[in-house]
């Protein structure tokens, strides 16, 4: 089915481990985003990508790495997980070529717990 | 710079009564505004958007919002709450950074609907 998917949906890991969260979209949207959602903070942008091989930092990029070798995929890696990275992570995509801004389309989220 | 403030972190209503979720925005130019809804353990879904066409915007599930420039507000309303409306609602303003449609989220309002 067309849309935006994230995997895994749930992940438990330990402090210091590397974790990769996957995001895949089938619309060929040029822009993709990673957010984290924490109580009282709404959603905060971690990284975004304007196209394949083009990425840039958002509000809270420290401790995260992204890549975008293909338009449809935008993985997020926690190089050495910390407890403060326990959160729900959302991937989103959008297409700026649309004449009217459509907002962004969100994936279902990944709930990550770092012990 | 753009920002949004959701004036209530929690709103509780009885089924069948009106819903009002309040949002004030700040923007240095004509804003694009959105309301997103997030049901428990789900991703975010676009409820409605304002993009300088009509000031009264109708969305899905009977929700609507009115853009009031003089009050810098974009409150979300529904005439009659349904149990299925219980969710978290985010007011969002579009900002620009590096040429992309950055979304700036409010902290969210949790809506509870009682029988």
Distance CA B14, CA B80 (A): 9
Closest approach of A11 to chain B, Cα-based (Å): 14
- Which residues of chain B are modeled with pLDDT < 50? none
What's the pLDDT score for residue B102?
74
Res A48 pLDDT > 60: yes
Of residues A40 and B90, more confidence is placed in: B90
- Nearest residue of B to residue A93, measured between CA atoms: B101
Q: Where are the beta strands (DSSP E) in chain B?
A: 3-6, 10-14, 19-21, 23-26, 33-38, 44-50, 56-58, 64-68, 73-78, 87-97, 100-105, 109-114
Give the pLDDT band of residue A69 (cuts 50, 70, 90). very high
CA dihedral (A104, A108, A112, B3) in degrees, to 10, reads 30
Among the listed ranges A42-56, A100-114, B90-104, which one has the minimum average pLDDT value?
B90-104
Q: Which residue has the higher pLDDT, A77 or B55?
A: A77
pLDDT confidence of residue A51: 87
Q: Are A95 and A75 in contact (CB under 8 A)?
A: no
When pLDDT is averaged across residues A48-74 and rounded to a whole number, the result is 92
Tell me if B102 sits within 8 A of B94, measured CB to CB.
yes
pLDDT of residue A89: 96
pLDDT for A82 equals 97
For an interface test with A, give the residue of B34, B101, B109 to mutate (most A CBs within 10 A): B101
Of A4-8, A26-30, A102-106, B37-41, minimum mean pLDDT range = A102-106
Give the torsion through C-alpha atoms of B50, A50, A112, A10, to 10 deg: 80
Q: Identify which of B41, B101, B103 has the shortest CB distance to residue A96.
A: B101
Q: How many angstroms separate the CA atoms of A47 and B95, rounded?
A: 15
Distance of CA B100 to the CA centre of its chain: 21
Residues of A in contact with B103 (CB under 8 A): 33, 43, 45, 103-104
pLDDT of A52 over the 50 cut: yes
Distance from CA of B32 to the nearest CA of A (A): 8
The mean pLDDT value for A34-58 works out to: 88
Question: What's the confidence (pLDDT) of residue B97?
Answer: 61
Residues of A in Cβ contact (< 8 Å) with B105: 42-44
- pLDDT value of residue A50: 85
CA Rg, chain B, in Å? 14
pLDDT greater than 70 at residue A1? no
| Residues A5 and A91: beta-carbon distance below 8 Å | no
Interface probe for B, chosen from A43, A45, A97 (most Cβ of B below 10 Å), is A43
The reported pLDDT for the residue numbered A99 is: 44
Nearest to B43 among A41, A50, A90 (CB): A90
Q: In whole angstroms, give the CA distance from residue A21 to residue B46.
A: 23
* Percent of chain A scoring above 70 in pLDDT: 92
**Which chain A residues are Cβ-neighbours of B34 within 8 angstroms?**
103
* Whether residue A67 has pLDDT greater than 80: yes
């Amino acid at each position: 089915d067309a849309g935006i998917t994230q995997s895994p949906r749930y992940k438990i890991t330990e402090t210091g481990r590397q974790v990769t969260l996957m995001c895949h979209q089938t619309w060929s949207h040029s822009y993709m985003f990673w957010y984290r959602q924490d109580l009282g903070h709404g959603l905060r942008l971690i990284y975004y990508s304007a196209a394949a091989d083009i990425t840039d930092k958002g509000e809270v990029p420290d401790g995260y790495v992204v890549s975008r070798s293909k338009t449809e995929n935008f993985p997020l890696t926690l190089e050495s997980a910390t407890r403060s990275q326990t959160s729900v992570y959302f991937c989103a995509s959008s297409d700026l070529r649309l004449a009217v801004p459509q907002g962004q389309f969100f994936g279902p989220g990944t709930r990550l717990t770092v012990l | 710079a753009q920002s949004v403030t959701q004036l209530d972190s929690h709103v509780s209503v009885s089924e069948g009564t009106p819903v009002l979720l309040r949002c004030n925005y700040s923007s240095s130019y004509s804003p694009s505004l959105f309301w997103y809804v997030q049901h428990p353990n789900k991703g975010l879904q676009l409820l409605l958007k304002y993009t300088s066409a009509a000031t009264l915007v109708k969305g899905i599930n009977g929700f609507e919002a009115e853009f009031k420039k003089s009050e810098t507000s974009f409150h979300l309303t529904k005439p009659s709450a349904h149990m299925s409306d219980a969710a978290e609602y985010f007011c969002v303003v579009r900002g620009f950074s590096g040429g992309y449609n950055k979304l700036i989220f409010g902290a969210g309002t949790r809506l509870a609907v009682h029988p």
